[in-house]
Amino acid sequence: MSAELYIGLMSGTSLDGVDAALVQIGDGELRFLSSTYLPYPESVRAAALALHAPGPDDLHHAALLSNRVAELYAHAVAELLESAGTEARHIKALGAHGQTVRHNPAAGYSLQLINPALLAELSGITTVADFRNRDIAAGGQGAPLVPAFHDAMLRHPGEHRVVLNLGGIANITDLAPDRPTRGFDTGPANMLLDAWIQAQRGLDYDENGAWAANGTVRESLLTGLLAHPYFSQSPPKSCGREEFNLAWLRGCLDGSEVAEDVQATLVELSATSIADAIRTHCGKPDLLLACGGGARNIQLMAALGRKLPETRVTSTDSAGLDGDSLEAIAFAWLAQRTLHGLSGNLPEVTGARGERILGAIYPA
């Protein structure tokens, strides 16, 4: 298969912005070439948050946000092409995730807002979108999808690795030698941390976990948070803001908590739920490779190291894949799979009835 250029575009549950990555795929290899990040305007973030719950004229607001996300994706593509010194005509396709506002595989759907026809029109590049619903149609969760990419890029024949994506939600990929790849969402990573600091201090995120470092873990609160039924469910499973949100967190508080203590407890919640999931379903991996924004949270990474003392905890950067761009790279890879008629899901991960070609294609 000759080498081709693809762009992956990802905006996750953290609602912080668009990650775009340019890769070259072919001859059995993938080369990461360049990336860019475009932060969301506050109006876009607020509109996406509003659509996570029922409201008036939802269909109209969803359509408007789909167009706005497509415009932001196109802007990110233009910036990426300029920084990489290449042109749209050289790109085989875009893999566009869109912005998740509802994820309900039990009801048979997952909704990622984007107008892919508009993105193809604005960018002049063939666009692949709607990756999750084909897996859901086959009985799967539609998530997580990145374990198939992790399996292709990060599996090692002699080392038990777990890949941990620390986005709004945490998901793991278990890459044990001589065992099929497994993966699932473990629960919140940054989602509650970001929501709490924004509510209390008006900041988008807790840089390096510095605010959490000033607090003390409240064990009674942690116990109550860990009682959420999602943590005891068996995989395959996936989650989102439907399960973990600011309203749920506030319902677990008694009003006496110091704000910094809540933040410290939320770090412990993320680390504990991740470590418990790894011990229960993966055993004792040799290496934990973290990626996503949470990999820069010093407090969270340190807590993971303490809870998994027999495992070396580091970032995917050490394995040659940029942790900040990894999910965007994965959707470039998924787009390549779609265009070549190759499956993009792992039934062992999502619970689908079999392998499926994911995504819908919108020609330029």
Indicate the angle between helix axes 259-281 and 191-201, nearest 10 degrees: 180
Question: Looking at residue 13, what is its pLDDT?
Answer: 87
Virtual CA dihedral for 100, 105, 107, 109, nearest 10 degrees?
50
Largest Cα–Cα separation, the chain: 62
Question: Looking at residue 27, what is its pLDDT?
Answer: 84
Domains and CATH numbers, the chain: 4-143+324-362 (3.30.420.40), 146-319 (3.30.420.40)
Task: Give 77's Cβ-side CA count (13 Å radius).
Answer: 30
Segment 29-38 shows an average pLDDT of 96
Q: How far apart are CA 207 and CA 147, in angstroms?
A: 27
> From start to end of the chain, where are the E strands?
4-11, 17-26, 29-39, 91-104, 109-113, 127-129, 161-166, 169-175, 182-188, 287-291, 312-315, 360-362
Q: What's the burial of 302, exposed, middle or buried (CB within 10 Å: 0-12/13-18/19+)?
A: middle
Q: What DSSP string runs through 26-70? A: ETTEEEEEEEEEEEPPHHHHHHHHHTTS--TTHHHHHHHHHHHHH
CB 116 within 8 A of CB 70: yes
The one-letter code for the residue type at 284 is K
Which of 217, 211, 147 lies closest to 185 in space, CA to CA?
A: 147
Task: Give 217's Cβ-side CA count (13 Å radius).
Answer: 16
Per cent of the chain over pLDDT 90 is 97
CB 58 within 8 A of CB 345: no
Question: Looking at residue 164, what is its pLDDT?
Answer: 98
Q: How far apart are CA 162 and CA 274, in angstroms?
A: 11
Element (H, E) at 179: none
Which residues on adjacent β-strands are paired with residue 360? 129
Q: How far apart are CA 147 and CA 150, in angstroms?
A: 5
Query: What are 102-148's pLDDT values in tens digits?
Result: 999 999 999 999 999 999 999 999 999 999 999 999 999 999 999 99
Q: How far apart are CA 150 and CA 196, in angstroms?
A: 31
Name the CA radius of gyration of the chain, rounded: 19
Segment 178-196 shows an average pLDDT of 96
Per DSSP, 90 falls in state G
Q: What's the burial of 298, exposed, middle or buried (CB within 10 Å: 0-12/13-18/19+)?
A: middle
Query: What are 50-62's pLDDT values in tens digits?
Result: 999 899 999 999 9
Residue identified by tokens 């029109």 is: 121
Sign of CA dihedral 35, 323, 184, 158: positive
Report the chain's mean pLDDT, rounded to a whole number: 96
Query: What are 228-282's pLDDT values in tens digits?
Result: 999 999 999 999 999 999 999 999 999 999 999 999 999 999 999 999 999 999 9
Which residues on adjacent β-strands are paired with residue 312? 287
Contacts of 297 (CB under 8 A, 6+ apart): 166, 190, 193, 206, 208, 209, 267
Q: How far apart are CA 22 and CA 77, in angstroms?
A: 9
DSSP-H helix ranges across 282-313: 298-307
Segment 159-175 shows an average pLDDT of 97
The pTM assigned to this predicted structure is: 0.94
